[in-house]
Chain A
Amino acid sequence: MRRRAIFGTSLAVVAAMGLSACGGGGDSGASNTVRVTLANHVWTENIKKALPEFEKQTGLKVEVTQLGEDQLSDQYNVKLNAGSSDIDVMMYRPLQEGKLFAKNKYLADLSDQVKANKTWDFSDFQAGPVEATTHEGKPVGVPIITEQEVLYYRKDLLAKAGLSEPPKTLDELKAAAAKIKAAEPDIAGFVARTGKSPAVTQFSSFLYSFGGDFVDGSGKSAVSSDAAKQAYAYYGGLIKESGPANVSTDMGWPEAMAIFTQGKAAFYTEANSLYKNATDPAKSKVSDTVGFAPFPAGPAGSKPYNIPSWALGVNASSENTGNAWKFIEWATSKEQTLAQQKSGVPGARTSVWANPEGTSTFPKDLVEAIAASTKAGVGHDRPLVVKVAEAREIVGQPIVDAITGNDVAAAADTANAAFQKFLDDEAK
């Protein structure tokens, strides 16, 4: 009899555990909670501060998950691959993951939504960024942050070296960097990203300014063109000769920016959207002496990239698409974009750039540099392919070879063959 009682109880416990495991998660259809996944970015910090206003307006609750760029990518890979519905709104990089996500049908078609609200005004968004968030003619995202590459420099070091203005050409940049490094052995003349993959985007402006591109007009790999070889040699050579001592080949922007903001470098080419890191006294030792200039001109002129770096999209598997769009509509509204831009995040709306208020808080020289960049800028900063990470590693190899003093021309030829094979595979 006692044994029976034990079995009775244990089975009841097992059954109860089973039932409770089944409970919860049965949420279907629209919910009052919008689950938003965002990257670590100034934009995100700003939007988080403004959230209560949105929640009050709509009665919705917003749940923010915030991750670093790499972790964000991994998260999407896992969750979207599994068809998970627990992300409603996703912040993504149109040039990095846009094609892959759209091809995998992770991003919902927003054709109807963007037309619905006239005051929100989709036509106000700049054409280039919109093109990057459009897949097969259908909008699948709304651009929120744009970027151009500009030259960051130290006014005090320039003055010390007897230079009255920032370099206008790449030749002048090279000469100025060498001069400063020679005069101040502890300070690098020039710093920039050195990691194989992180460097590619910032190298792109050098490539374009030398007259090259990753892919030529007929869709063939062009990373071994004369222009490309010159650009690789220039970029790597500049870091090798005028860069920081013991330079590593792993630097992304946080490392390169740290060297610059610690006062250890005179010139730095980087995305303008990161400028607050250099001008904010809390983060930068050189905040009061930082100047900005347009990207120096190469043989083909000054051709920096001008790209949308982040966009918002709706997860196609979300069961809460209506509310997800409400969030995007609010976060990308004219008011929010203006507020974002005033706190230093360059946006994608024409009207905000036309509004003097929209640029009032930017350093004056940065506004001029941005204006110059948007005129001559190129719409991409990495190869426009589906598997961007792989492509970046291929075309980035000659950069690190140039930095470490290997044969640049040979590296470019090897990269070219590998990249052509990659393009052929992808075209299949």
Chain B
Amino acid sequence: MATITTTKAPRSAPTDPETPGWVRWANDHRKWLFAAPAMIFVAVLLVFPLAWTGYLSLTDAEGSVRAESEFVGIQNYLDVLTDTERFWPAVGRTATFTAVALLFEVVLGMAIALLLWRPFKGQRWVRVAILMPLVATPVAVGMMWRLIFDPNIGLANQVLGWVGIGPQPWLAGQHSALPTTIFIDVWQWTPMVVLILLAGLTSLSEEPQEAARIDGASTWQRFRHVTLPLLMPTLTVAILLRGIDALKTFDILYATKGRGGGSFHEVETLNVYAYGLSFDYNEYGVSSTVLILFFLIIIGAMWALTARRKEAQR
């Protein structure tokens, strides 16, 4: 084991008397000075928009953000939280979309990663092929699947026709649209889970596997009691990253079903709803309220997942 030693720099560099005052000041505050651009960047690009959105969510701003708006307190929050027509169904769809997509992506991703783990001939090509969907732009992916799933001229129904199954409505159906978009999300993002898990698997040490094999553990037992626990931290990272991304999904939904998530709001998630409120209805106050609530949901989900991760690492 190599030992790493860190030497702490003295708080203030030894200064000779001719050093000008500003250089001495800069030396004393260099920690802040070097961090300042990053902090300003964060303040401008993160804190300000968030604070502004928070402020807008307490006003009745509509039509134009520059137009006069009145401070309405928590009225928007009361309206939104009691809205069972658009808001709560959107929350439900967001949760369904995230949970189902995540479940499929993690299970499939794990299975594929395990298959690719052990070296085999042509492995590199298979890995490249699997990563293909990942590098495509989600909007383009959405458009491509929209064509494939077109109920009349799409490839999907033609293929079904060859095996004697009648045409399916896919994205066009009121009840099949959400599952279809979940399928598209799974198609595009499972490779990312594969990538993360594969990296985790290849970095695992061989000894525990060896020991288990010598002890006579079956493949399943080795996976269940050796590989999986060792892989847990990587797995939680994959779930965390993919989970947050799935919560925020917008482009695939917009590209396949358009504004409002379809004529019956079939795929209207919180993101799509907030977008519609801003860009179609110009209701900036209510839209900001939805976004703040959405932000809280994401923070909550992230917190819950990181707590789980810490537990897993213990």
Contacts and interface: CB of A to CB of B under 8 A. Distances in A.
A77 B64 CA distance: 8
Given A77-B282, A387-B282, A195 B65 contact: no
A246 B260 contact: no
Interface in B234-274: 257-260, 262-264
A390 B280 contact: yes
A248 B180 CA distance: 14
Contacts, number: 85
Interface string B55-99: 000000001111100000000000000000000000000000000
Q: Which of A14, A74, A196, A252 has the most CB of B within 10 A?
A: A196
Nearest to A196: B263
A22 to B, nearest CB: 15
Contacts of A11: 26
Nearest to B13: A3
A96 to B, nearest CB: 11
Contacts of B13: 3
A156 interface: no
A245 interface: yes
B303 interface: no
Contacts of B167: 245-246
Contacts of A82: 65
Contact of B151 (A196, A248, A386): A248
A197 B280 CA distance: 11
A246 B262 contact: no
Interface in B170-191: 171-172, 174
B7 interface: no
B67 A197 contact: no
A246 B281 contact: no
A103 interface: yes
Contact of B279 (A74, A80, A250): A74
A266 to B, nearest CB: 15
A378 to B, nearest CB: 24
A262 B262 contact: no
Contacts of A65: none
A246 B169 CA distance: 6
- State which size class the interface on B falls in: 20 to 34
Contacts of A258: 153
B152 A259 contact: yes
A260 to B, nearest CB: 12
A103 B152 contact: no
A264 B152 contact: yes
A60 to B, nearest CB: 29
Interface string A382-397: 0000110110010011
B152 A250 contact: no
B122 interface: no
Interface in A200-216: none
A387 B281 CA distance: 6
A120 B171 CA distance: 50
A339 B64 CA distance: 37
A195 B278 contact: no
Given A100-B282, A194-B263, A248 B65 contact: no
Contacts of A4: 19, 23
B278 A77 contact: yes
B23 A400 contact: no
Contact of B280 (A3, A246, A389): A389
Contacts of A250: 171-172, 257-258, 262-263
Contacts of A7: 23, 26-27, 30
B37 interface: yes
A104 interface: yes
A404 interface: yes
A279 interface: no
Interface in A58-80: 70, 73-74, 77, 80
A400 B151 contact: no
Closest 10 CB pairs of A and B: A248-B172, A246-B151, A104-B64, A196-B263, A389-B280, A249-B263, A400-B263, A390-B281, A81-B65, A4-B23
Given A103-B63, A104-B63, A104-B67, 11 more contacts: A4-B23, A7-B30, A195-B258, A197-B259, A247-B151, A248-B172, A250-B258, A258-B153, A386-B63, A393-B260, A393-B280
30 contacts: A4-B23, A7-B30, A14-B37, A70-B259, A74-B279, A81-B64, A81-B65, A81-B66, A100-B282, A103-B63, A104-B63, A104-B66, A104-B67, A106-B64, A196-B260, A196-B263, A197-B260, A245-B151, A246-B151, A246-B157, A246-B172, A247-B151, A249-B263, A250-B171, A250-B263, A252-B258, A259-B152, A389-B281, A390-B281, A393-B260
